[in-house]
Amino acid sequence: MPDPTADADIHERLRGRDYREAFTLLLPRYRDKVFRLSVSMLRDQARAEDITQEVFLRIWRALPGFQGQSALSTWIYAITKNACLSELRKRRPQVSLDDDEYDSEVASLAAPEVDDSATVSVGQLLERLPERYRQVVTLFYMEDKSYDQTAASLGLPLGTVKALLHRARKRLIELTREDAASTS
């Protein structure tokens, strides 16, 4: 479970209205986390890089209005999620039938060499999960969020988050077994 005092230094700067210093502290702390969440939602590294920059611009502009009613990380993840969803809505009409085929070819070229042990990386397994499962798994396991923080970040009820995590774990086990069966 994340340390509730982890962002105390940032909160102190915010209370003192030292927004530049608060931003200087939060940027390196959250940059990779925002990027990973963006990649998991957008499934496109270049778009995720652009969205990550946009998210931090939004954070910079909104920082004076941060009231501390939720954890700083929850607030940042909500901004990230909303930016990604806006990007997905904006790009949806431009997707052609050929894009998926092209993306998979590029991804296979960029993927690291598969070794003989037939192990599959967690990232490869996550890519095969539906988006909702991937988001919950990324926040809960990879970003070490609690159930409540994951629910708040995604704007979902707590029970839904628990159910999605259960289904995601079950699906990951199935995918692992399918991969093991296909390589033997």
Domains recognised in the chain with CATH numbers: 1-94 (1.10.1740.10), 118-184 (1.10.10.10)
**pLDDT at res. 22:** 94
Q: List the chain residues with pLDDT less than 50.
A: 1-2, 93-119
Count CB neighbours of 101 within 10 A: 10
CA distances from 65 to 17, 57, 62, 111 (A): 10, 14, 5, 42
Q: How many CB atoms lie within 10 A of CB 22?
A: 25
The reported pLDDT for the residue numbered 18 is 94
* Whole-number pLDDT of residue 160: 92
For residue 93, give the DSSP letter.
Answer: G
What's the CA gap between 8 and 29, in Å, rounded? 13
Distance between CA atoms of 62 and 97, rounded to whole angstroms?
A: 38
In sequence order, what DSSP letters do the residues of 4-46 get, joined into one string? TTTTHHHHHHHHTT-HHHHHHHHHHHHHHHHHHHHHHHH--HH
CB-based contact 147:172 (threshold 8 Å):
no
Task: Quote the pLDDT of residue 112.
Answer: 44
pTM exceeding the 0.75 threshold for the entire prediction: no
φ, ψ for residue 80, nearest 5 deg: -65, -50
